[in-house]
Amino acid sequence: MAASDRDLPPGIVARALRASDLGAALALSEEAGWNQNIADWRIFLDLGGAVCLTRDDGSPIATAATLPYAGGFAWISMVIVSAPERRRGLARWLLRDCVETLAARQLVPLLDATPAGRTVYLGLGFQDCWTMRRLVGRAVRMPALERCAATVRPLAPSDWPQIFAYDAAIFGADRGALLRRIAERLPQAALVAERGGRIAGYLLGRDGRVMRQLGPLAAEDGDIAISLLVHAIAAVPAPLTVDVPDRHAALGDWLATLGFATERPLIRMAYGTNAAFGDVTRHFAIAGPELG
């Protein structure tokens, strides 16, 4: 009999994910075909939280993670159930547990859903905010470096205070600790755009299990966003992935000219509201569905 949102099947228990579980957690995301590596899983242990389901406190058979932000909201992600354990209500139990944990902290739960997941999340009280598409470039044509709309250079340590303030206004919360960790993972993609003597955009990237992710990407306009990506794509080898909001379709269309193809749509959803946090007009690529 399937579990409800409140009850787990006999023999299955919930507990916090531990550092010693990271190998098993990675195996679950690998089984699902996802791009996370150990460094991604460590983000949740260090900056957020993660819960797992086990049989008698053994190896995890299912996981979920949360990542709180100071802007009054938090991310839910990494809801994974091992293939032999699916269709027993475990994912719904994990999601409900995350929602209740965050609500108790007065944080609005957000997540990025696939179309299949969206159906489940709607039934649990989530609402659509906006849509995006994951673009993957397995063989990428190099873009021309001329006609850049801004001066693009590597991000310097002295830039961080400005980047934190710039990003917080666009994302809707201070996520400085996360940005620093991402930047360390793929330094050649850590770029700043300047125009008129001030920061007009920035880009970070990180390594993944099967491809490198470019994002977050924030900029004053689409031309500056393209300028940042031009430099990153020239420096970072494929395969690459970029998650682009549909409101910035022109950026996605430009990536398509380089060989990027849509892998799947994604829907940003929030629990109990359809209000978008931050400034979506300058948010050209997210950090990833697991991070926001």
CATH number at residue 172: 3.40.630.90
How far apart CA 95 and CA 23 sit, in angstroms, is 22
**Do both 97 and 140 map to the same domain?**
no
**Do both 85 and 153 map to the same domain?**
no
**Do both 84 and 28 map to the same domain?**
yes
The answer to whether the Cα torsion of 210, 39, 49, 105 is positive or negative is: negative
Q: For the chain, what is the domain count? A: 2
C-beta separation of 279 from 125 below 8 A: no
How far apart CA 135 and CA 265 sit, in angstroms, is 9
- Token pair 């892998």 is at which residue? 263
**Do both 62 and 181 map to the same domain?**
no
Domain holding 162, by residue range, is 134-285
As given in the structure block, the two tokens for residue 158 are: 């002295």
**Do both 78 and 145 map to the same domain?**
no
pTM: 0.94
Q: Most distant CA pair in the chain: distance in Å?
A: 64
**Do both 280 and 144 map to the same domain?**
yes
C-beta separation of 66 from 74 below 8 A: yes
Tens digits of pLDDT across the chain (292 residues): 244 567 899 999 999 999 999 999 999 999 999 999 999 999 999 999 999 999 987 899 999 999 999 889 999 999 999 999 999 899 999 999 999 999 999 999 999 999 988 998 999 999 999 999 999 999 999 887 666 678 999 999 999 999 999 999 999 999 999 999 999 999 999 999 999 889 999 999 999 999 999 999 999 999 999 999 999 999 999 999 999 999 999 999 999 999 999 999 999 999 999 987 889 999 999 999 999 9
Of 238, 222, 217, 234, nearest to 285 by C-alpha is 217
**pLDDT at residue 143, rounded to an integer:** 82
**Do both 40 and 171 map to the same domain?**
no
**pLDDT at residue 145, rounded to an integer:** 67
Q: What is the CA radius of gyration of the chain?
A: 19
As given in the structure block, the two tokens for residue 92 are: 């719904």
Sequence-distant (6+) residues with CB within 8 A of 222 are 248, 250, 251, 284
How far apart CA 86 and CA 53 sit, in angstroms, is 12
> Could you tell me if residue 120 is inside a domain?
no
**Do both 194 and 255 map to the same domain?**
yes
